[in-house]
Every structure is written in structure tokens, then in C-alpha cells.
Chains A and B, each alone.
Chain A
Amino acid sequence: MSSLLKRGQILHGSNTQTAYEIETFLGAGTQGEVYQAKTNGQLVALKCYFPQYIKTDPNCQQRLEKAISKGNPDSNFLWPIELVFTDKTPLFGYVMPLRADHYKSIVDLMKRRIDPGFRELITACLGLVESFLHLHAKGFCYRDINFNNIFLNPQTGDILICDNDNVDVNGVSGAINGTPRFMAPELVRGDAAPCTESDLFSVSVLLFYMLMLHHPLEGKKEADIRCFDQAAMNRLYGNEPVFIFDPRDNSNYPVKGLHDNALTYWPLYPQFIRDLFIRAFTTGINDVQHGRVRENEWRNALIRLRDSMVYCACGAENFYDSEQLKEGQQQVCWSCKQPLIYPPRLRIENTIVMLNHDTRLYLHHIDKTRRFEFSQAAAQVTRHPQDPNRWGLQNLSDQSWTITLTDNTVKTVEPQRTVNLNAGIRINFGSVQAEIRV
């Protein structure tokens, strides 16, 4: 139910004088209401602020003007386009691109109303850390990362980040302190104001929620709380934050029956992901200035995680864990509990990519100068057209590869040709060397 603007009402853009006509009410938050509006046949989203909110945030307009003039950090942000004003009232707001319906909220993910596979989920996590990396690299701070401002396409893992009106230059004081459960402990305690380092904590919380469907600090200490009020939240998230899987302190370990998602998901991910979360919620809590896991570390780890995926014969997605194998432990499928059988894999310098029936390599994998480029596949696992038992890696790039067989014979794999997935074959992609392992 809307209260600020009416259907058919016209607002004007401050830069272009464009007329925006209000169509439908989309939703309300603590700061204002969002509407769908139309201009020259195009649909946009329009946020209008509550007058009582503006009183608490006098810098709002100036902050938006700065964000608009600087431009979006990348296209995942539904960034403000221009300010809009009503003709006869002091109401104002801004317009931004409209979010398409197939993007769903993180709440939908938490309530299992959408259920993407691990690959799409990890892709979404990756998109998220890359976008926040771009935002922070531009000198901005987001301040209010939470469930309600991230959206994902469950079919592809593409993401969108909205509510960008709190974004400001890092260090500038703002009106928003963050959202409980996502705020860094020093913010909950009131010891510090939101900044890039507190954003990093919130990013880690969001990633934990997405991958584990649980909060990283809600274990036994949460179970012991009868009434979950402000005092309880301050204690749990601010004054006594203990990671539920802190290897040195099990006082907040998850309780079976109450925190089952955490207990289910934690062992399912490889050690390198668990290690990063341990750091994020131990050193990352104690050393606010230097201890937090940064987006580029998450980016590398999430790419490695996606490359570690293997399918069990039962169809479940699992993760290859080289550290577990080094310790001589047999990995079993989380679903059918049978030992995992690994597909061939490609060792690319220090990383391993599992070569599943649907694996694709990107420029990121085969070209040192094009790291983090995933827009176009450069190679794909494919089956021999005549012999279904033969699998190969097809060259989808425009460069020939040089391969060295185990008998040291050297061959060329031209674009569109395929190399057999045989153990010991070395592939020279140009700037990167790789070897097939079976």
C-alpha cells in the first residue's frame, strides 16, 4: 500500500527534465517507497523518500548527486540515474533501472522458494564479491549490505544490487548504520561507523548465509537465549561474537535440531573455503583494520570452488577436496554416502579444474592476461561423436593449442578441434600450461 505518490502523478528529472509517470507501487522500506514509472515508453524504478526520513538524513540529496555523477561501479548495480522532484510538494527521490521479475531476493533463497544448484549459487556469490570489489575500488562504501538489496537469477547465478542510495565515499559519515545480523561487531557496539572494512564483514556474513543457509554467529549462544531481543542481538553480534566453527573455541558450536543447516553444509565444502570463513569470523572479528577477508580472496576461492565441483553418479553436486585426499581420507557423496568417483581433471599451474561432462573453461583459465573473464567459453568438455566412451576437451578459442603426449609427441589442436582426456597430456594454451590428470 503506497502513501506518498499516486498513479498517474508526474515527477521531473533534475538533469534531463524528463517526465516520469507513476504506474504501480512496488514496495516500501524504512527510507521510502519504490514505484514503477514510465518515461518515453521505457519502464524505470522510482524511489521516493518519506519526509520524516529526510529529516534524519539531510545529506541524502547531495550523496545521490555524487553517486549519479560518478556512475555505476559495474552493470550489476541498479544505480541511480537522476534525481526526481514532485511539482507541488517537497517530496523527492531518484530513478534507477527496473529489476526484471526473474531476479529473486535472498529471502527467497533463505526460505527455499528458489533452489538454485551449487554452480548457480557459487556464480551468484562470485558476482557479488566482484561487484563489491568494483564498488570499493572506486572509493565507495556500501554501508547496508543485507538480504533485501541483493537479487539473483536462480537459473544463471547472475546478480543485481539495489538500494544504492546509501553508497558514499568511504569515510564520509552517513545516516545508515547497517542492518542487524549483517553489521560488523564494532558497529553493533557503537565503536565505529560504517566503512569499507565493515562492508567486508557484511560480505562474509552474506556469503555464509548463501552457502550455508545459516548465520555464522548463531550457535549454542543463540540457542541459550529465550527472548531474542535487542540486548540478545547486541551480545551475540556485538559484544561476544564467537564463530560457530571457531576451531579454538567451541562455546558457540551449532546445536543439532536448531542449527541443522550449518551442520549439514559446513563439512560439504572443501577445507580452503572453511579456512577462509574461519579467518573471516575469528581474525576478521578481532582485527578490524587488517584481519578481514577481502573480495579478491573470496573471488579466487569462489572460482576455485566452482572449478572443484564434481557430480556423483546419484546426481548430487559435490566438491573435490585435495586437502582431504592428501590426508588419505576418502570423500563420500553428501547425498548417497557412496565414495565419490572423480572425473578427469586439469591441473592449470597451481589450480585444479574438474573436467565434468558439462565443464567449460574460460579465458580466465587459459590466458594469464585475461584473468576473471568468464563471458565466453574458451574450451568445453565434449563427447566423441562416434565413440560415446571417448571424452575430450574442445578448443572454442580462436588460438591453436600445442599439446605434448606422454611419449613427447607434439601436436596442434586448432580452434574447434578436440584433445582426448588422457592422463599425462600437457596442453600449452599460450601463456598458461596445463596437464590432464585421471
Chain B
Amino acid sequence: MSGMKRPGGELASRPLHFFWLADCSGSMYGEKIESLNYAIRSAIKPMQDVADDNPNAQVMIRAITFSTGAQWHIAEPVRVEDFKWQDVDADGVTSMGGALKLVAEQLDVSLMPERCLPPVLVMVTDGQPTDDFNAGLKSLMDKPWGKKAVRIAIGIGQDADLDVLQKFIGHNEIKPLHAHNAEDLVNYIRWASTVVLQAASSPASQVKDQVTSGVVPIPQAPEASNPDVDDVW
């Protein structure tokens, strides 16, 4: 080697905005919210590894919690390599529509960079909305970046309203993931934060007949455990 570096910089990449939408209503109190905190914390390193191995994206993370009203848990986009999770608490009702309105505001064309990868929205909930979900969904889908977002939903336990989550996803080929226990939740959260993240930016090998969400091809999710045997919720 001559010792002189070759010219130029890194491979050109685009930003990818990733949003957690976490249900912190009263019904999540106790094991569920602790499992959610644990699952997200456990997904950070794999998520960083995936981002680190991805030359096509600069991943930025934000988070919204919803209970009685919706609020930003992480308001400013954080680079994935700096992402830390502050535990959330559970109390109140389920303002899922409010959460969608909040994320819709930030997906406005005026606030998003000009050139991006599809945003990724991951919703985690154990119940059904107590506010106007449809109005929230409409405000999201009215934004071009909302429509282009890869929307993934994880329902926890028996009371999760899978129909609402299916509406949020907006593509029939992708089903809400139904977590029957803490282990499922950990697996699904990890899948959403690694496999889906990767698919939205630099899709891996394309397996024939895989699900196409309309935005990006999404590889198959891990299989849930048998709900009859191991249902702790």
C-alpha cells in the first residue's frame, strides 16, 4: 500500500426515521409494561448492529407513549448509535388516535428531510383505542410520508384489538403480530427493530413469494408460541 488513502467518502446514504408508539395505558400496568421496557432495551444492541452493517441508511429514532393523551417520550430524533430507552410507566386510558396524530404532525413534508427512506412506525398495544382512532389514522394517511411509512403492529395478550391494528397496518398481507407472552414480545420487538428496519433501507435477499407491504418487502415474522400452553397474560 502507498499509505495514501483513496479519495472520496463513505457510500451515500439516506435518513430512516423510526418511531416507537407504545401503549402505556393502565391495562399495561405491571408485567406487561415491564416486559415492554425489557423487550425494547434488549432490542437496542441488535438494532444498532443491523444499522452498523447497513451502508444505505442513517437511522434516527423517536418514541411516543399514549395513555390518557399522547406525548413524546423521545421527541428529538436520536441517532441509533446513541439510542437509549428510559423506562415507561402505565396509567390511564388508550389514546391511540392521539398518538397517530402526534406522529402525523412530525411526518409533515415541511418537517421531514427532502430525501428519505420510508419511515418505520412500530405500534405496541394491549387494548383498544378509547379516543377517535379513525381521525388519528386519517391524519396520518393524509401525509405523504405517513402513507409511505412501513407500519408494524404488535398486539399484547387477549384484549388487543387486532382489527384496529390491521387498519393501522393498512395492508392485508401483513398481519398484526400477536404476543401471547413475554418471550413473544421480545422476539417481535427485536424483529421489528432489526429485520423490518433492514427491509426498509437495504432489503436483504428476496425470498420468493414474500409479503410485499406496498412500501417495502417484509420478510416473515418469527412464529408465535402456542397460546394455549404459555399464555401468561
Contacts and interface: CB of A to CB of B under 8 A. Distances in A.
The answer to whether A and B come from one shared complex is yes
Contacts of A209: 11
Interface stretch (B29-37, B77-85, B151-159, B203-211): B203-211
Given A228-B116, A229-B216, A230-B216, A146 B9 contact: no
Interface of B: 1-12, 14, 42, 45-46, 53-56, 114-118, 144-145, 148, 187, 190, 195, 202-210, 212, 214-217, 219-220, 222-223
Interface stretch (A37-45, A311-319, A363-371, A387-395): A311-319
A225 B148 CA distance: 13
B12 A218 contact: yes
A374 interface: no
Interface stretch (A75-83, A174-182, A408-416): A174-182
A47 B14 CA distance: 32
Interface in A250-296: 258-261, 264-265, 268
A335 B206 contact: no
A192 interface: no
B51 to A, nearest CB: 11
A386 B202 CA distance: 58
14 contacts: A52-B223, A53-B220, A56-B209, A111-B55, A176-B206, A178-B205, A178-B206, A179-B203, A179-B206, A183-B206, A227-B117, A229-B216, A261-B9, A317-B2
9 nearest A-B pairs in the assembled complex, by CB-CB distance: A117-B1, A110-B55, A110-B11, A177-B206, A261-B8, A227-B148, A315-B4, A180-B203, A264-B8
Most chain A CB within a 10 A radius of its CB, from B6, B55, B144, B212: B6
B86 to A, nearest CB: 22
Q: Give chain B's interface secondary structure class.
A: loop
Interface stretch (A10-18, A84-92, A118-126, A298-306): A118-126
B28 to A, nearest CB: 24
Given A144-B205, A166-B205, A228-B14, 5 more contacts: A30-B219, A107-B54, A180-B202, A181-B202, A258-B12
Contact of B11 (A214, A225, A317): A214
A146 B8 contact: no
Given A259-B12, A314-B4, A30 B148 contact: no
Nearest to A209: B11
Contacts of A52: 220, 222-223
A74 interface: no
B190 A56 contact: no
A223 B11 contact: no
A6 B210 CA distance: 28
B115 A228 contact: yes
Contacts of A115: 5-6
A64 interface: no
Nearest to B220: A52
Nearest to B210: A56
Nearest to B14: A228
B197 to A, nearest CB: 13
A9 to B, nearest CB: 18
B7 A268 contact: yes
Interface residues of A, number: 63
A180 B206 contact: yes
A213 interface: yes
Nearest to B5: A115
A227 B11 contact: no
B7 A265 contact: yes
Contacts of B144: 226-227
Contact of A317 (B4, B56, B148, B214): B4
A119 B2 CA distance: 9
A83 B2 CA distance: 44
B8 A213 contact: yes
B46 A175 contact: no
B116 A227 contact: yes
A335 B4 contact: yes
Interface string A216-238: 00100001011111100100000
A258 B10 CA distance: 11
A264 B7 contact: yes
A29 interface: yes
B187 A176 contact: no
A1 interface: yes
A56 B207 contact: yes
A329 interface: no
Contacts of A264: 7-8
B1 A3 contact: no
A177 B208 contact: yes
Given A52-B223, A175-B207, A229-B216, A315 B3 contact: yes
B115 A117 contact: no
B16 to A, nearest CB: 9
Contact of A110 (B10, B118, B214): B10
B223 to A, nearest CB: 6
